[in-house]
Amino acid sequence: MTDIAVPPAAPVIVVGSVNMDLLFTGLAQIPQPGQTVSAESFRIVPGGKGANQAAAAARIGANVQFVASVGTDDLGDQAIAALAADGVGLDNVTRVEEPTGVAAVVIDERGENAIIVNPGANAEMRPADAAAIAARFTGTAAVVLACLEVPLDAVTAWARIARDNAWTFILNPAPVPAEPLPRELLELVTIITPNETELAALRDGTAEALLAEGVGAVIVTRGGDGSELFEAGEARHHEPAFPARPVDTTGAGDSFNGALAAALAEGQPLREALVFASATGALSTRAVGARDGLPTRAEVDGMLVG
């Protein structure tokens, strides 16, 4: 059983990306190479895996402290305002001269999506800044949640800090880099949360290989087929998906990860946190955009008892 001991009310430190999403919806299909497809609508909405995860955790009541790099442009102002509205702590967000990250998101009539990202300011996150930020939380318990839309060396720096402080470190390995993740990083990961596609691109494509590399636990998300939890010495655990009629699956994984971190920060055992995250992820698919469907705590609790 994975050793996760986090007192209630621990902060959730989200280390990740901030984008503004150029959102095209209502496509008959995701375009193929050389194909032009019409969209029914277009709008600009806040996004970025890290920001989405931070917003998801904050909406369900977590004390979220966000670590990110954002441009000083108008898109950066919009991104910051959206996070503040969701109650995300922004004291550790750095404004830089690079443009704010952007993503082009296309969503078909079935709710499936394809995404193109330009990192912009996200690439400016520096590992050297991690220690000074983390020092503000020294002596407390914490859950750190990181994605791979920011530099890998910065993520690894936070993983080391989490180990040194006995914090839980969750890695959402998205997007999976072209080169294999370093063993040093994997040995520092408490929980890794790939989806099926991401798992296939990691090591030999199995959860067992990740456990052998030193990861504490592997949660594989499988959309409508639920999720699976793998822990060394334990039988594989399947968690069924909650009923959902997805309008847009863009932010489901981010919502799942944010909720998982929030639940662990409350002291929920891992399997209970997995159920909580599954309910949150299902609810998040009910609206277009990565954040419009993010549920409140009351909505998640309602699904869990309903």
3-class state of residue 47 by DSSP: strand
229-254 burial: b if 16+ Cβ within 10 Å, else e: bbbeeeeeeebebbebebbbbbbbbb
| Res 189: pLDDT | 98
Instruction: List, in sequence order, every residue forming a beta bridge with 145; answer none if it has no partner.
Output: 14, 170
Whether 254 is a known active-site residue: answer: yes
List, in sequence order, the alpha helices (H) in the chain. Answer: 49-59, 74-85, 130-134, 152-164, 183-188, 196-200, 207-212, 252-265, 270-284, 297-305
The catalytically annotated residue of 3, 248, 254, 301 is 254
| Res 132: pLDDT | 94
3-class state of residue 205 by DSSP: coil
SS (H, E, C) 64-117: EEEEEEEECCHHHHHHHHHHHHCCCEEEEEEEECCCCEEEEEEEECCCCEEEEE
| Res 256: pLDDT | 96
| Res 4: pLDDT | 64
Stated pTM of the model = 0.91
| Angle subtended by helix axes 252-265 and 49-59, to nearest 10 | 50
Integer distance in angstroms from the first to the last C-alpha of the chain? 29
Q: Where are the domains of the chain?
A: 12-18+47-100+123-305
CATH of domain 12-18+47-100+123-305: 3.40.1190.20
d(CA 68, CA 12): 14
- Listed as ranges, residues in the chain with pLDDT below 70 are 1, 3-9, 248
| Res 293: pLDDT | 85
| Res 218: pLDDT | 98
| Res 224: pLDDT | 86
